[in-house]
Amino acid sequence: MSDTRTGAQIMCEALIREGVEVLFGYPGGAIMPFYHALPEYPQLRHVLVRHEQAAGHMAEGYARASGKVGVCVATSGPGATNLVTAIADAMMDSVPIVAITGQVAAQFIGKDAFQETDVTGITQPITKHNYLVTDVADLAYVFKEAFHIARTGRPGPVLIDVAKNAQQARTVPQWPDRVNLPGYKPTYEGNRRQIREAIRLIGAAQKPLILAGRGVLEAGAMAELRELAERTGIPVITTLHGIGCFPENHPLALGMPGMHGWVHNNRAIQECDLLINIGSRFDDRVTGKTSTFAPHAKIIHIDIDPSEIGKNIRVDVPIVGDAQNVLRAMLEELPPRECRAWVEHIYRIREQHMPRQQYTRPDTDMFMPHDFFTVFSRIINERGPYRVCTDVGQHQMWAAQLIEWRHPYTHITSGGLGTMGFALPAAIGVQIACPDETVWAVAGDGGFQMNIQELATIRQERLPVKIAIINNGYLGMVRQWQELFHERRYSATPLWNPDFVKVAEAYGIPGICVTHQSQVEDAINAAYATDGPILLEFQVEREVNVYPMVAPGASIHEMITESPMEVV
C-alpha cells in the first residue's frame, strides 16, 4: 500500500516531475480530489483566481514570460467551459499551457450528470491535443505526454480532463522516461537545399525585406536575426507578436506592418523583390487583401509548423524548421552584402509620411492617448526591466506603435484571438514569473472590466502589478470602425464606467485619476514609487482614432492616414 498513490496524488507528482512550480485555478466538485491532495505538495504554488477564464490567461502570461509551460485548473461543466476562451487564445498565439479539468465520474459520463460537459469535444479544434482520463493507471503517462506536446514543435495548449473516479482511485504509478508518439515528430532542422536556395535569392535581391514574427522569440533566435540583418543590411519589420525580437532603436528596425502598420512598412512590402518571413503566419491583419500582397516579391517562409506554409500566401522557398537552427545554418554560408539604396528609399518614405501618421495637436488643451504612451515609453525604458501586458483595442495598437520596444519578451498581448480582458490576468501570471521586474497591465476601459474581479487576486497574492487604464468612455476600436465604415452610428459602444479609483480602493489598491497630459509623468513616477499594486486611470479624449489604418478587405498600400479620410 505504501507505494500506491491516489490519482490526485499522481497528478500532483506528475506536475512536479514536469518542473511545474505554480498553477492558476478555481476548485469545484469534480476536481475536489485534486484540491484535497494539493496541500501535500507545497512545491506547487496555487493561485486562487476569481474566474476560470482569468486562470487561463494567467497561465498564458506565465508561459510567455518564463518560457515554461503554464498550468491552469478548473472543475467540470461551467468551470471547464470558462477556460475555453483562454485555451483558444493560447492556440491562436502558440502559447504552451496545460489545462486540467475535473470531469464527472466515468459511470456518469454521457448521462447529463450535474455539471457534466464534453470539454474534450468542445476543445478539440482549439487544442494541440486533449485527453479524457477515466483510468487512474493512465494518468502518469498522459501527463508526461501532454507536457511534451505542449512545449515541443509549435507550442500550444493541451487539455487533460480527469474523471473524478480516476482522481480517487489508487495505483502504483509507472513513471515513463519518454513518450512514444510515432505520428508526432516536429522538424527542427531546415532542409539544406532550400536554405541554399534562400541564400541565392538573398544574394540576388535588390530590395529584400525581413518580416519577423513570434517564431523568432519562441526559438530564441534574436541574435541570429540581428546577425542576418547586420550582415546583409536587410531592414526588419516585426509583426505584433514579433515585437521585441529586433530592437526598435536599431537603424534597420522599421516597426509594425499591416492594418495599423506604418506607411513606409506597408509600402516596403509592396515594393520589395524578396520577402523573408521568419516565424510569422501571414495573418490577415498583416497581409490585408492577400491577392495584392507583396506583388513583386519572391517569398521565403521559415516556420516550424509546415501547415502554415502556403496557407495564406504563395511561397517560393519553404523552409520547415526551428528559426534559430535555420538561421544558424543560413549564416554558415551567407556572404555579406549591402542594401543601402533600398534602405534609404524606405527612410525617405518614412520621413514623408511619419508626421501625418501621428496625431497633430490642435490649438487646444486636449488630453490625447498619445500623450500617455509617449511618456510611458520613455519612463519604462529609462527605469527597466519591465514587462507590459496590453489588452485588445485602440490602446493595444497605440502601445505597439508608440512604445519603443527594445527588449525581447517585454510585449505580451492577445494577438490572434483578440481577447478583451486579457491584460490584467496575464499581468498576474507575468508578475509571478518575473517577481523582480515591473509588470504593467495596460487596458482600455472596456476590456479592463471584463476581468476586473482579478484585482482581488492581485491583492490576495500581494502582487505589485501596475495598472494603466486608457479611459475614453467607448469601446474605442469598435467606435472607430463605426465612425469610418458605418456612418458614424455609435451603436452600443458608449460606456458608462464606474469610478475606477474607488473600485481599486475597494480592493485595497491605491489609485490615481489623470485628466490632463501634464499629470502623466507624475502619475507614472508615483506608480514606480508605490511598493505594491496601483491603478492609474487616464481619462483621455473620447473620439481619437488609430492611424494609419487599412480598411477591411483593402490592400495594405491603401492606407487611411488621418481624418477626414485620406488614403495614400
φ and ψ at residue 424, rounded to 5 degrees = -65, -55
CB-based contact 544:472 (threshold 8 Å): yes
CB-based contact 437:387 (threshold 8 Å): yes
Catalytic residue among 68, 164, 207, 298: 164
Residues 6+ positions from 158 with CB-CB distance below 8 Å: 97, 98, 99, 127, 128, 129, 130, 131, 146, 147, 149, 150
- C-alpha span between 143 and 138 (Å, rounded): 9
Catalytic residue among 21, 32, 115, 483: 115
Q: Which residues pair with 302 in a beta bridge?
A: 278, 319
Instruction: Find the length of the chain.
Output: 568
Catalytic residue among 13, 18, 52, 60: 52
For 283-305, b/e burial (b = at least 16 CB within 10 A) is bebbbbbeeebbeebbbbbbbbb
Catalytic, 164? Answer yes
Catalytic residue among 92, 477, 549, 559: 477
Catalytic, 246? Answer no
Scan for cell 488630453, then name that residue. 367
Catalytic, 114? Answer yes
Residue 496, all three cell numbers: 458608462
Catalytic residue among 114, 206, 502, 565: 114
φ and ψ at residue 6, rounded to 5 degrees = -75, 160
- C-alpha span between 488 and 304 (Å, rounded): 43
The DSSP symbol for 494 reads: B
Q: Could you give the residue numbers annotated as active site?
A: 52, 114-115, 164, 477
